[in-house]
Amino acid sequence: MKPSHIEHIGIAVIDLEASIAFYEKVFDLTCYKIEEVPEQKVRTAFFMIGETKLELLESTETEGPVGKFIEKKGEGIHHLAFAVPNIEEQLKHAEKNGIKLIDCKPRKGAEGLDIAFLHPKSTAGVLIEICEDKKV
């Protein structure tokens, strides 16, 4: 599969409002959206740095994926999201090539994107999300 660009960098945070204030104060960035994704048990906040998007992720439940991550590793970089064309085909291709999938089919993520995660055990320890914006 060939991603076109990094769609976003996901950062796990304990306190979304405090982290938004940090990025706004220290880096003079503007949070352009806060969105809850109940299915993923997260609240997200978005910033653009030039053409690169940062996604802050706060867990809404300790048992959610981000809550578990923070409990184990603390705050920090959580995942990289690669924009790909035809996400369904990419998932089939990845599976055929022995990559363990977290999502066999795309589901809806923040900002209306179709998203799917590849398991970090299959991707050298980096949680990789592939995503497609079907609206464009």
Q: Do 63 and 42 contact (CB within 8 A), yes or no?
A: no
Residue with nearest beta carbon to ligand CMX: 109
β-strand 76-83 against 128-132: which pairing, if any?
Answer: parallel
> Which of 28, 74 has the CB closer to ligand CMX?
74
**Which one, of 81, 63, 99, lies nearest residue 11 by Cα?**
81
Rounded CA gap, 30 and 105, in Å?
A: 33
Nearer to ligand CMX, 72 or 96 (CB): 72
Measured in whole angstroms, how far is the alpha carbon of residue 19 from the centre of its chain?
Answer: 16
Shortest Cβ 77–ligand CMX spacing (Å): 8
Which one, 28 or 63, has the nearer CB to ligand CMX?
63
Identity of the residue, 19 or 40, whose beta carbon is nearer to ligand CMX in the bound complex: 40
CB of 15 to ligand CMX, least distance (A): 17
Both tokens assigned to 32: 């352009």
Whole-number minimum distance, CB 12 to ligand CMX, in Å? 7
